[in-house]
Amino acid sequence: MEHFIEFKNVSFRYSEDQPWVLDDVSFKVKANEWLAIIGHNGSGKSTIAKLMNGLLIPQQGEILVSGMQVNESTIWEIRRLVGMVFQNPDNQFVGTTVKDDVAFGMENHGFPREEMVERIQESLDAVGMTDYAGHEPHRLSGGQKQRVAIASVMAVSPKLIILDEATAMLDPKGRKEIMNTVRNVQQQRDLSMITITHDLHEVVRAERVIVMNKGKVWLEGEPRKIFEKKEALREIGLDTPFITKLTSELRNEGLDIQREPLNHQELLEELWTLHSKM
Ligand SMILES: Nc1ncnc2c1ncn2[C@@H]1O[C@H](COP(=O)(O)OP(=O)(O)OP(=O)(O)O)[C@@H](O)[C@H]1O
């Protein structure tokens, strides 16, 4: 199956006397792809995440996960297939040790005991937390807590992992480490990944980006295509990466930079091409 998630004309509001938070939203997420969702505060990003694993149900439209419609009868299977990690890891812990915590999700899904032991080991290994299996989650650093949260999700073998601002509370080094860890696991296990983020370093690494604005899909495409529209992004209050701004300045100075660079290396390559034409 090519598409793991399909949103078909989805509209959602939290109650009848409140405005629509999502308004006729349609998009697809391929199996194995990394999609970043960006947009200003309140544009509906977290609501999309919660609709994907049945924490919320839309009033209009249809959501398909692995070909199954999200509804009361499919919700448990869907929650196993769609794992979510949120911003604040402290709200996600239930166990008194790291090991118990990873076990908890599996217990909910009825995994046999012998299989659980193996899976705990595997998922803690995957995020580099094996040595902390007996530790109390609350005493870990922010980055370690997020690793445990990711291990708990991985233990039940999801097909999609959603990180909703999951690196927002970490410093830049911690963010990079977590993203590298998740990216490795995602690629090794052939998962889809959705990151909801304000971190532009994360966005440029994604394979595809959806820009949400006022409850609608405002723009969709590869990062390069998205950041080519930097003026339009700025108009809806979104920042662009430093390299993108620097490229604009260089173009204003008369440099004919063709391709939109997304990182230092690409900008250097563009400058080198220009230089060799001189
Ligand atoms: N439980 C709720 N009850 C009522 N309204 C809500 C609830 N959760 C979110 N909203 C409203 O829905 C809209 C979209 O919120 P959502 O959290 O999906 O946006 P977001 O793009 O993820 O924003 P942020 O970046 O601030 O998390 C906002 O106007 C928000 O106030």
pTM assigned to the model: 0.91
Report the residue among 47, 164, 216 best suited for mutation to probe ligand 1: largest number of ligand atoms under 8 A from its CB.
47
Residue identifier of the C-alpha nearest atom 2 of ligand 1? 14
To the nearest whole number, what is the mean pLDDT of the chain? 91
How far apart (Å, rounded) are the C-alpha atoms in residues 199 and 87? 13
Q: Would you state the pLDDT for residue 136? A: 93
Taking only the tens place, the pLDDT of each residue in 178-190 is 899 889 889 988 9
CATH class of 3-240: alpha beta
Residue identifier of the C-alpha nearest atom 24 of ligand 1? 41
ipTM of the complex: 0.95
How far apart (Å, rounded) are the C-alpha atoms in residues 231 and 117? 52
Q: How far is the CA of 33 from the centre of ligand 1 (A)?
A: 25
Residue 51 has pLDDT above 80, yes or no: yes
Residue 1 has pLDDT above 60, yes or no: no
Which residue type, as a one-letter code, is found at position 149?
A: A
Taking only the tens place, the pLDDT of each residue in 117-159 is 999 999 999 889 999 999 999 999 988 998 999 999 999 989 9
State the Cα torsion 167-118-79-50 to the nearest 10°.
-10
Residue spans per domain, the chain: 3-240
Residue 227 has pLDDT above 90, yes or no: yes
Taking only the tens place, the pLDDT of each residue in 205-221 is 999 999 999 999 999 99
